[in-house]
Amino acid sequence: MAELLAYLARGLVDDPEAVQVESEERDGALVLRLRVAPGDVGKVIGRGGRVVRALRTVVRASSARDGRRVMVEIAG
């Protein structure tokens, strides 16, 4: 899941080298924390949160195969 999120985020930002994904277990769910360069936070969130909502949807759909709950957080 982390690799998928990183791949998608690298395609959205101006500085793909700054993209990092940290994962941790919290309350029985996998939490993926996406870090990008400060200037790219707006691109990852998108207008009205549309881009981050789409990222969350894709990652959740991918994780449904494994039967796991996955949450995506943005940490600028």
pLDDT tens-place string over residues 38-53: 999 999 999 999 999 9
Q: How confident is residue 13, by pLDDT bands cut at 50, 70 and 90?
A: very high
Q: How confident is residue 76, by pLDDT bands cut at 50, 70 and 90?
A: low
Q: What are the C-alpha distances in Å from 38 to residues 31, 33, 49, 55, 64?
A: 21, 15, 16, 18, 31
Q: How confident is residue 67, by pLDDT bands cut at 50, 70 and 90?
A: confident
Radius of gyration of the chain (CA): 12
Superfamily of domain 2-74: K homology (KH) domain (3.30.300.20)
Residue ranges per structural domain of the chain = 2-74
Tell me what pLDDT residue 65 has.
Answer: 85
CA dist., res. 23 & res. 68, Å (int): 13
What is the residue whose two structure tokens read 């709950």?
A: 69
